[in-house]
A and B are shown apart, each in its own frame.
Chain A
Amino acid sequence: MSSNRTRAARLGRSALDWLEERTSIVSMAEHFLYEPVPSRGRWLYTLGSATLFLITLQFLTGILLLFYYVPTTDHAWDSIYYMMSQVYFGKLIRGIHFWSANALIVVIGLHMMRTFLSGAYKRPREMNWVVGVFLIFIVTFLAFTGYGLRWDQEGFWAWEVGVMIASYTPLIGDWVVTFLLGGDTIGPASLSRLFAIHVWLLPALLAPLIGVHLFLLRKHGEFGSEFEYSERLARLRERRRLEGYAEEEEQ
């Protein structure tokens, strides 16, 4: 006679077994959850996941903003104004997108500084760093193009300055401007371009690169900082010191 509880447990287990056999989701979860990581500086190592969290927030709130935002020169500003004044939680959704973008710049900068100061980009993690540099580059352009989408005085003229600077790019300046504006001058097509770049082009570049960054992280494991290895480094030094003595005695 088995009680209800053991029967439920058995049912749960066989459901998990069923899933495991078909998807290996259970062993995968175990593999992810119980990966050994350095423990001493754990708060320092939250910066990467905080960056990931804020980017996820950006994707989620960005999708919600698309429910109302109209990417045309006639309606872009009005649609944002409407969102801020009429739409349920409009202020919250846009507020999160705005403030989380700002926080993201701070946190990604701190994450970069942390990995630099730890020397975490050294062999074999050089490519974690290289991918990271591309990530911060893309995030910067996302922030910049988002500013222009408001189509208010502040955002519009800041964007105009950006395009002006881009036009000075040696050799390919004209081409860059045509790419950004959809013509030689600012017009309705320019906002379409700005929108497509902010909403599709840059996120579509960002997402797979984040995947590569996380893959490399898993491949090499979290390095952390040198103080995570001080006992092992001390043992290494001690062994070399003893070997030095032994060599001297031999001579």
Chain B
Amino acid sequence: METRRGPARPVEDGEVITEENVYERPDRPMAFFPGQVVADLTVSAVLLGVVVALSYLVPAPLTEPADLSTTSYVPRPEWFFFFYDQMLMFFPGSLLIPVGGVVIPLLFFLLLLAVPWLDREPGHSLSRRPFAAVVAFLIVLAVVLNMLLTLVRILNFPQS
């Protein structure tokens, strides 16, 4: 534990700051307790309150029992799959489903894994990483637009 690097290093006033050690500890470190613990507990408490309130105000849904003999049921994906659902609309037909449903999501997954090595810009803040900033913005934009497209489509479904 003695060789640990990171913000736990004691403050040295006459420290010479180099590229290597500049991120070793923040300007104004605080102890995890109580500062961060109070913030964490506050957020968790709010979330718990919201989740409990919602369970009574908007009970978890349960539609009719599954009927395997129905052939006309058009299932709605949950909202966090809207984006994925829209991909299938862009790649219809049995030849393209593997592309939109499996290959592209898999490539996206691999791309996400590689982010730390793809981002070669030296800085950390967004203003010093213009490329990462633009790519992130475009991805978020694409996801949001696709979700809206799905939402509009679902609102037009025959059964509500």
- Report how far A50 CA is from B42 CA in the complex, Å: 10
B155 within 8 A of A: no
From residue A38, how far is it (CB to closest CB) to chain B in Å? 4
B145 within 8 A of A: no
Contact A225–B124 (Cβ < 8 Å): yes
Q: Which of A33, A49, A221 contacts B43 (CB 8 A)?
A: A49
Q: What are the residues of chain A within 8 A of B5 when measuring CB–CB?
A: 220-221
Given contacts A57-B48, A153-B66, A221-B7, A161 and B75 within 8 Å (CB-CB) = yes
Fill in one digit per residue for B37-73: 1 if any A CB lies within 8 Å of its CB, else 0: 1011011100110111011101111111111101001
Q: What are the residues of chain A within 8 A of B56 when measuring CB–CB?
A: 91-92, 95
A69 within 8 A of B: no
Q: Which candidate, A8-16, A39-47, A202-210, is the interface stretch facing chain B? A: A39-47
From residue A68, how far is it (CB to closest CB) to chain B in Å? 13
Contact B43–A50 (Cβ < 8 Å): yes
Q: Which residue of A lies closest to B106 (CB)?
A: A169
- Report how far A116 CA is from B73 CA in the complex, Å: 40
Contact B44–A50 (Cβ < 8 Å): yes
Interface of A is mostly: helix
Q: What are the residues of chain A within 8 A of B101 when measuring CB–CB?
A: 165, 168
B6 within 8 A of A: yes
A249 within 8 A of B: no
Contact B26–A119 (Cβ < 8 Å): no
Contact B26–A42 (Cβ < 8 Å): no
Q: Taking each of B31, B37, B140, which has the highest tally of chain A beta carbons within 10 Å of its own beta carbon?
A: B31
Q: What are the residues of chain B within 8 A of A133 when measuring CB–CB?
A: 109, 112-113
* Interface residues of B, count at CB 8 A: 80
Q: What are the residues of chain A within 8 A of B52 when measuring CB–CB?
A: 92, 95-96
Q: What are the residues of chain A within 8 A of B70 when measuring CB–CB?
A: 153
A64 within 8 A of B: no
Q: What are the residues of chain A within 8 A of B33 when measuring CB–CB?
A: 33-34
Q: What are the residues of chain A within 8 A of B158 when measuring CB–CB?
A: none
Q: Which of B47, B77, B129 contacts A158 (CB 8 A)?
A: B77
Contact B32–A33 (Cβ < 8 Å): yes
From residue A157, how far is it (CB to closest CB) to chain B in Å? 3
Given contacts A32-B32, A36-B7, A239 and B16 within 8 Å (CB-CB) = yes
Q: State the 8 A-B residue pairs at the shortest beta-carbon distance, nearest first.
A: A95-B55, A221-B6, A157-B75, A98-B60, A156-B66, A119-B124, A36-B29, A33-B33
Q: List 24 A-B contacts (CB under 8 A).
A: A33-B32, A37-B26, A37-B29, A42-B35, A53-B44, A84-B62, A91-B59, A92-B52, A94-B55, A95-B51, A95-B59, A98-B60, A100-B51, A102-B80, A122-B124, A126-B117, A151-B66, A152-B63, A154-B75, A155-B66, A157-B75, A168-B98, A221-B7, A230-B27
Identify 18 new A-B residue pairs, CB closer than 8 A, beyond the known A53-B44, A222-B7, A229-B23: A37-B29, A38-B28, A39-B28, A45-B36, A50-B40, A78-B65, A91-B60, A95-B52, A95-B54, A120-B124, A147-B78, A156-B75, A161-B75, A220-B6, A226-B123, A228-B26, A229-B27, A239-B16
Q: Please report B residues at the A interface, Cβ cutoff 8 Å.
A: 4-8, 16-19, 22-23, 25-33, 35-37, 39-40, 42-44, 47-48, 50-52, 54-56, 58-68, 70, 73-81, 88, 94, 97-98, 101-103, 109, 112-113, 115-117, 119, 123-126, 128-129, 132, 136, 140
